[in-house]
Structure formats: structure tokens, C-alpha cells
Chains A and B, each alone.
Chain A
Amino acid sequence: DAKTTQPPSMDCAEGRAANLPCNHSTISGNEYVYWYRQIHSQGPQYIIHGLKNNETNEMASLIITEDRKSSTLILPHATLRDTAVYYCIASSTGNQFYFGTGTSLTVIP
């Protein structure tokens, strides 16, 4: 599965949109992009996934570039409870994920 690259940390003001980037320049055509987040002392939580098209659910939006080499997770109105480590993962099978170290997002009041 393709390796992903994320910034180690980001800040976002409460109520503003949080845009978390992910680079996956070697992604292959059958690999999905998954996003998970992990709040301190809890197990990771699934957020969203996509293959080619942009996706939206009640938690977030996922924007995938046309060449699929990068993506952005958007939390439209960040709250303090969105402070967490966010992981971007590329996987063709969904059987095992390489989480990496993710992006630590801090939402500031």
C-alpha cells in the first residue's frame, strides 16, 4: 500500500474549518484513502474514506485531487472535541492499515 505523508501538527481556531492535508503520491488505482482520528486514550475512530470522488458525511468532507496524489480532510466547523491525532491511510485491501504518526490537530478556543 502507498505511503502517506502528513504534517506532524496543526492548529485551528474553534468554529473555523480545519483542513488537514495528506500526500499519497504513489497511490495506485485500487487503493482507497481512509481517514481515522484518535482522541487521547481512546481507540482510533473511522471518519471517512474515498477512492476517486469527493465524499461527505456527517463528520467531515474528503477532497481527493484529480490525479489522486493528495487529499484533504475538512472538518467544517471545528470544536474543542475535534482535538485529536488524524491519520490518513491508503489501502487496497482494507485488511491491514499503516497508520504512520498522523497529524496532531489542536483546536484553540
Chain B
Amino acid sequence: DTGVSQDPRHKITKRGQNVTFRCDPISEHNRLYWYRQTLGQGPEFLTYFQNEAQLEKSRLLSDRFSAERPKGSFSTLEIQRTEQGDSAMYLCASSFEGHFYGYTFGSGTRLTVV
């Protein structure tokens, strides 16, 4: 197992376009998280899944954002009608249920909206 994989690593898109990111968690992990990080700030929580169920969503996740985790394996995060303010690093993490193992993060997808 190579850890949490995110694809693509970098994405440049024009304002108004839709983009989709993929995250493949560690296979045994049943929880999957999405965070967003802008320059100089720590990661901010967006949403998390336990298996295929989306259990929590931040108010940061506007209606232009949608996340799915079909079959409880990989997840996708889609941003519709991108805006310049969406430019950020989008981080995915996975964990076992419960406190005791911490998260394992991927290396992120850097989105630039021009």
C-alpha cells in the first residue's frame, strides 16, 4: 500500500470551468476526509465520509462543491463554476474509525483558477 493517492497533483483551470479531483485512501481505512489549504494557513475541514456515507460537511462546502465516495472506496471532489477564490491545495486524508490512529494525508491537488 503506497498511502493516500491524489490525482491530479496540479490543475490549472479557467474561471467558470468545472474540475474534479480524485482521492484513493489507504485500502483498510473506512474514513475519508477532504480539507482545503490556502497559502499561509493551516488546512480547513471540508467534509468526511465513513464508508460511503457523507457524515459531516463544513459551511465552507458551498453548493458549488460536491463530494462522493461510491462503494466506500475512492472519493471525488467536484467544484462547479470555479472562482479565483477556489485556488488552493485540496488535501485528502483517511483513517480508521476512532481517535487512535490519526489521519494519513495525501500530497494534495493544487488548484489554480485563472
Partner-B contacts on A (CB < 8 A): 32, 34, 36, 41-46, 49, 85, 87, 91, 94-102
Contacts and interface: CB of A to CB of B under 8 A. Distances in A.
A99 B44 contact: yes
A43 to B, nearest CB: 3
A87 B45 CA distance: 14
Interface string B36-65: 000011111100100000011010000000
Contacts of A43: 4, 91, 93, 105-108
A94 B106 contact: no
Contacts of A102: 42
Nearest to A42: B107
A87 to B, nearest CB: 6
A30 to B, nearest CB: 10
Contact of B104 (A34, A46, A91, A98): A46
A46 B102 contact: yes
